[in-house]
Chains A and B, each alone.
Chain A
Amino acid sequence: MDPCPQCGAAPTSPLACSACGALLDPPADTDPWALFGLEPGPSVDGERLRKELRRVSRLVHPDFHGSDAANRDLAERNSARLNEAYEVLRDDYARADRLVRLLGGPDEQAERQMPQAFLMEVLEWNEAVEEARDAAPGSPPRAALDALSDDLQARREASLAELVVGLEGLPPADNPGLPERLTEARKLLNALRYLDRTLADIRELRLEQAAR
């Protein structure tokens, strides 16, 4: 990071100088990892991320920059950038998705063709959700839904672990086999969206049922 233009100290965040409190204005394309002072990678330490969010928020939050309009606008913008980056980094899907794009891999519109067998499975999940919708508590369709939920959760964990292995150690961008690995990651991510959608449907259904 460049030295702080105000005091010359080496800033500990690209968004603000912790030495003099001045707000900085990093380039618009600064990636989420860089905003948190991290190297891009598929896994993050959640505890460390939260700590850094708190530390940098205390530097950039508009609560502490209210007196001057220009400064307040920059505080608003820097806080928003920090929070946006945090949302990306803390979420397994969003983090991997961003990493694939950052490394020049295919975006979510690509690699959407799913194997026939997988699509059949998705149809079965949907049916299981629908059958459980009006079923009584403790009935077989409800028990089947609970089992499905556990199964999908386990598969999600496994997919994420596979993603991390696939994306670990990238960059450098001249890594041999990089395009293939990114394509594989995108396929996994697209399959993950189906899993996540069904898991969200199950969550919604459970909230509805609890309210009855």
Chain B
Amino acid sequence: MAFIELDVLNNNAEQLALGIDLGTTNSLAATWRDGRPTVLRPDDGEAVVPSAVYFPEDGFPVVGRGARERAMMDPGHTLFSIKRFMGRGLADVQADLRNVPCDVDENENGVVRFHIRGRQYTPQELSAMILKKVQDVACRALDGAAVTRAVITVPAYFDDAQRQATRDAARIAGLEVLRIVNEPTAASLAYGLDQKGDGRIAVYDLGGGTFDISILSIEEGVFQVLATAGDTHLGGDDLDRALADEARREIAEQIGDEAADDPAFRQALRLAAEHCKVELTRQPRAQMHLSLPDGGQWRRTFTREEFEALAAPWIERTLESCRRALADAGLGTDEIDEVVLVGGSTRVPAVRRRVEEFFGRVPHTELNPDEVVALGAAVQAHVLSGGTRDILLMDVTPLSLGLETMGGAVAKIVHRNSTIPCQATEGFTTYADNQTGIEFNVVQGERELAADCRSLGRFKLTGIPPMPAGMARVAVRFHIDADGLLTVSAKEESTGTSSSIEIQPMNGLTDDQVEVMLRESYEHAQDDFDRRRVADLRAEIGIMTHAARKGLESVGAELDRETREDLEEALAVVEREARSDDAEVVQKARDAFERATLPLASLMMDSVARTALTGKSLDEV
């Protein structure tokens, strides 16, 4: 009863909040509706937003499906896998840079910047564009309700810099972040395993670019993470790349290295390899077909066995992390009651087989592995909106936190797999008379030398009252909050003065930089929104007119003359109107054109063309 009273004080009614899975390849939103989590799918389109951004020559960036479609025609101006750059410096992402079609540098705090069409963009800003698009899609699915509160998921193995970057991206997108939740933990919520009683579960999450394994216990509705391990640089992309590298090797023998490394060709190769991998999950063999830069054609049939041999080393690497997590949890595989598979890459039969062998039980695959993280995030958003107190998530910090000592070693202050929120206090003193400041380096990682761990930044303690050397007793408090983010505060205990901490983030944006980006995005918000809508509509119209022309060519003769003329007229009108910058005008033109194509669509027996005409893209069929 007491809780009800409290809830009334805190929340009059449950506000709608989104659960957003910001993925390497795809992003998606879900929310809590009618007593369960639901993926937000607009009537007129797809729920999934490909995590890609295309920069047209003029006008605003195109995000999602439109960007993916342009990538084939204009690979030099499309960015993929932006998540791999979040919270990373140039030195960390050398392998990924091979797939970036533009110039890249680093700002003074080690934040990567992409130079494209005469402007520069940080991964945070690009992720913010994706988040805005996801929000836009979600709001459309909710009949235009403006939802700005969200739970956003990150790989469990993301470190502080990567989590902070995600949080900053959400801020730039104008979202209120209720919580940063780990992807595998979210997935465990989506399965509602607490309904099945108490037990221990393993969540194996192989996404587009990251791998996580989390071991949880569920007791009386409390989901407690016991251990997590993973690799923020291992995912389905690597399986694609293994196939692409094999194809490239064979092609280079034929046409030479230089031609095989043509950026546009690389992009085409990447997409072909991905397509081939998807086919091989369904059938025992698949053909890769490529137009070579020299104009020739290249065809090669891959068997599933060949692909599995190429993928095996990557799959074995995921099992290393599984062993590590089990050891940290102090459990054997026989003590795991349920195994859950998450992430599109767990569709690969070899992955399923190896996971099943490893844990000795058939994993859960009932929920769509691409949707389960967003669904779980929606459950957590429901909890955080005051919707229920039956479920509680207790997550852990994936990496140890430490301080660099005088000799360059690491003094650990928080161990990995500590339940969050957690805290630690460390005492410091001065080594010179009247010293008023102390500088220290906070690192995250398991290695013994600070140089081998990731520096989260240099923290400068100032405002220590002047006193003889060694007399000051400064207590520095490290707090990792429920989002897994570190905050540092300090106090001089002998005088009770609060010392202030100045932080120079490593691979991160300062608050001021985020503010500027946020302001810029506000200033352009309506502008951006309209231009983006126009850009999306134009992309859609392009696909529709292309399909209509093809349809006219193939079955146009069967239409009566009047209908055909109407249609040709409609084609001319929509292409003229699409040049307008007014989103309303373009939207009306698109809708009118869709109506004009109905007779043609009903004529066309080819289901592919029909789908394209009703506004869906070809690759969804």
- Interface stretch, picked from A77-85, A95-103, A108-116, A144-152, is A77-85
Selected contact of B392 from candidates A20, A57, A86, A210, CB within 8 Å: A57
Q: Is A21 an interface residue (CB 8 A)?
A: yes
Would you call A80 and B423 a contact (CB within 8 A)? yes
A211 to B327 Cα, complex, angstroms: 13
Selected contact of B393 from candidates A63, A76, A203, CB within 8 Å: A63
Would you call B482 and A61 a contact (CB within 8 A)? yes
B427 to chain A, nearest CB (A): 13
B6 partner residues in chain A, CB cutoff 8 A: 20-21
A9 to chain B, nearest CB (A): 9
Known: A67-B11, A83-B421. A54 touches B481 (CB 8 A): no
Would you call A62 and B323 a contact (CB within 8 A)? no
B178 partner residues in chain A, CB cutoff 8 A: 66
Would you call A207 and B394 a contact (CB within 8 A)? no
Interface size class of B (residues with CB under 8 A): 20 to 34
Would you call A87 and B421 a contact (CB within 8 A)? no
Annotate A171-196 by CB proximity to B: 1 below 8 A, 0 otherwise: 00000000000000000000000000
B423 to chain A, nearest CB (A): 4
A84 to B480 Cα, complex, angstroms: 11
Annotate B1-36 by CB proximity to A: 1 below 8 A, 0 otherwise: 011011000110000000000000000000000000
B316 partner residues in chain A, CB cutoff 8 A: 211
Annotate A46-73 by CB proximity to B: 1 below 8 A, 0 otherwise: 0000100010011001111011100000
A206 partner residues in chain B, CB cutoff 8 A: 327
Selected contact of A86 from candidates B10, B323, B419, B479, CB within 8 Å: B419
Would you call B383 and A84 a contact (CB within 8 A)? no
Would you call A63 and B423 a contact (CB within 8 A)? no
A61 to B389 Cα, complex, angstroms: 11
Q: Is B251 an interface residue (CB 8 A)?
A: no
Which residue in chain A gives the minimum CB-CB distance to B487? A76
B324 partner residues in chain A, CB cutoff 8 A: 207
Would you call A81 and B327 a contact (CB within 8 A)? no
B554 to chain A, nearest CB (A): 56
Would you call A210 and B323 a contact (CB within 8 A)? yes
A212 to chain B, nearest CB (A): 10
Near B by CB (< 8 A), chain A positions 10-69 give 19-21, 50, 54, 57-58, 61-64, 66-68
Interface of B is mostly: mixed
A53 to B393 Cα, complex, angstroms: 13
A203 partner residues in chain B, CB cutoff 8 A: 327
Q: Is B569 an interface residue (CB 8 A)?
A: no
Please give the number of chain A residues whose Cβ is less than 8 angstroms from any Cβ of chain B in the complex.
28
Q: Is B537 an interface residue (CB 8 A)?
A: no
B422 partner residues in chain A, CB cutoff 8 A: 80, 83-84, 87
Near A by CB (< 8 A), chain B positions 206-256 give 219-220, 222
Near A by CB (< 8 A), chain B positions 307-349 give 316, 320, 323-324, 327
A207 to B324 Cα, complex, angstroms: 7
Q: Is B384 an interface residue (CB 8 A)?
A: yes
A84 to B482 Cα, complex, angstroms: 14
A77 partner residues in chain B, CB cutoff 8 A: 421, 423, 479
Selected contact of B389 from candidates A64, A87, A207, CB within 8 Å: A64
Would you call B392 and A58 a contact (CB within 8 A)? yes
B420 partner residues in chain A, CB cutoff 8 A: 80, 83
Selected contact of B421 from candidates A58, A62, A67, CB within 8 Å: A62
B389 partner residues in chain A, CB cutoff 8 A: 58, 64
A33 to B457 Cα, complex, angstroms: 35
Would you call B222 and A83 a contact (CB within 8 A)? no
Known: A21-B3, A50-B219, A67-B11. A80 touches B392 (CB 8 A): no
Would you call B482 and A211 a contact (CB within 8 A)? no
Which residue in chain B gives the minimum CB-CB distance to A78? B421
Would you call A76 and B219 a contact (CB within 8 A)? no
A87 partner residues in chain B, CB cutoff 8 A: 418-419, 422
A79 to B424 Cα, complex, angstroms: 13
A159 to B465 Cα, complex, angstroms: 46
Known: A21-B6, A62-B482, A66-B178. A54 touches B421 (CB 8 A): no
Would you call B323 and A76 a contact (CB within 8 A)? no
Would you call B384 and A76 a contact (CB within 8 A)? no
A92 to B164 Cα, complex, angstroms: 35
B11 partner residues in chain A, CB cutoff 8 A: 67
Selected contact of A83 from candidates B384, B392, B393, B419, CB within 8 Å: B419
B7 to chain A, nearest CB (A): 9
Would you call B392 and A63 a contact (CB within 8 A)? yes
A195 to chain B, nearest CB (A): 17
Can you list 11 pairs linking A and B with CB atoms under 8 Å apart? A21-B2, A21-B3, A58-B222, A63-B392, A63-B393, A66-B178, A68-B10, A76-B421, A80-B420, A206-B327, A207-B320
Q: For the complex of A and B, list the 6 residue pairs with the smallest distance between their C-beta atoms, beginning with the closest.
A: A80-B423, A80-B421, A67-B10, A83-B419, A211-B320, A79-B421
Given contacts A20-B2, A63-B482, A83-B419, 5 further A-B pairs with CB under 8 A are A20-B6, A63-B393, A77-B423, A80-B421, A83-B421
Give the B-binding residues of A (Cβ under 8 A): 19-21, 50, 54, 57-58, 61-64, 66-68, 76-77, 79-81, 83-84, 86-87, 203, 206-207, 210-211
